[in-house]
Amino acid sequence: MSTRSKDEIAAAIARDIAATHPDGAYVNLGIGQPTLVADHLPPGSGVVLHTENGMLNMGPAAHGDDIDPDLINAGKVPVTELSGASYFHHADSFAMMRGGHLDVCVLGAFQVSAAGDLANWHTGAPGAIPAVGGAMDLAIGAKRVWVMMTLFDKQGAPKIVPECTYPLTGLGCIDRVYTDQGTFEVGAAGVRALELCGISAGELAARLAPLTPSVA
């Protein structure tokens, strides 16, 4: 049993977005790994990508002559414009996010708590320069906020935890966590594995203890 690659996780998220929103969804993909999801959206999914620096219907990354320094995404990567795009200023863009108009937002995370709290902006380490960007707005604003991360950190410690030990980004804001070792729901009912990949239910329970994940 092998774990899922980042591409496989991104494909799973893309599939679930398309399944949940058959008529198309408005989606924000956080900077870093979540941007991979765009590459896996099925043709005709009708998904419209939002970038918080003021654009809807963002296209793929720009290359060569298509690069325009005035057209970048939230990660400051040059991107392209799809047909039906629109531009708006930052207050309007964040009003859109904070007002609950995005269907799905996918974020990276350091930790997610069983109750759905998110920690993804700051390690709290001494000397670290804090930088939050739009993470707190996205965390509380989208209709569904999903996380894409590895289930364990480099030291092997679980990133789904009883309580976040890193500084919080938002309280009770996460619906679902896509990881290399499976997909999980978190929230009031605790942790529930929707599917496992590369880990047995027994090992999962042992490594996430004292959490007691249920397995669908």
Partner 1 sequence: MTARVCADHDAAVAGTPDGATVLVGGFGMAGMPVDLIDALIRQGAADLTVVSNNAGNGDTGLAALLATGRVRKVICSFPRQADSWVFDELYRSGRIELEVVPQGNLAERLRAAGAGIGAFFTPTGAGTPLAEGKETREIDGRVHVLEYPIKGDLAMIKAHVADRMGNLVYRKTARNFGPVMATAAATVAVQVDRVVDAGGLDPEAVVTPGIYVDRIVSAEPEVAA
Q: List residues binding partner 1 (CB under 8 A).
A: 21, 23-26, 46, 48, 50-57, 68-73, 76, 81, 83-91, 93-103, 117, 122, 127, 129-137, 140-141, 167-171
Closest to partner 1 by CB, 6 or 76: 76
Residue 14 CB, nearest distance to partner 1 (Å)? 16
Place of tokens 């938002």: 170
Residue 183 φ then ψ, to 5°: -115, 135
Among 127, 78, 134, 90, residue whose Cα is nearest residue 108: 134
Closest to partner 1 by CB, 8 or 88: 88
CA-CA distance, 32 to 54, in Å (whole number)? 18
Answer whether 52's CB lies under 8 Å from 28's CB.
yes
Closest to partner 1 by CB, 15 or 98: 98
Closest to partner 1 by CB, 28 or 181: 28
Residue 209 CB, nearest distance to partner 1 (Å)? 25
Residue 187 CB, nearest distance to partner 1 (Å)? 15
Q: Which amino acid is at 55?
A: M
Place of tokens 């959206």: 41
Residue 191 CB, nearest distance to partner 1 (Å)? 20
- Single out the catalytic residue among 52, 81, 195, 203: 52
Closest to partner 1 by CB, 100 or 212: 100
Answer whether 97's CB lies under 8 Å from 90's CB.
no
| 52 is known as an active-site residue | yes
The three-state DSSP-derived secondary structure of 52-120 is CCCEEEEEEECCHHHCCCCCECCCCCEEEEEEEEEECCHHHHHHHHHCCCCCEEEECCCEEECCCCEEC
Strands 55-61 and 48-51: antiparallel
Q: What angle do CA 24, 26, 32 make, to 5 degrees?
A: 120
Residue 188 CB, nearest distance to partner 1 (Å)? 13
Q: List residues with catalytic annotation.
A: 52
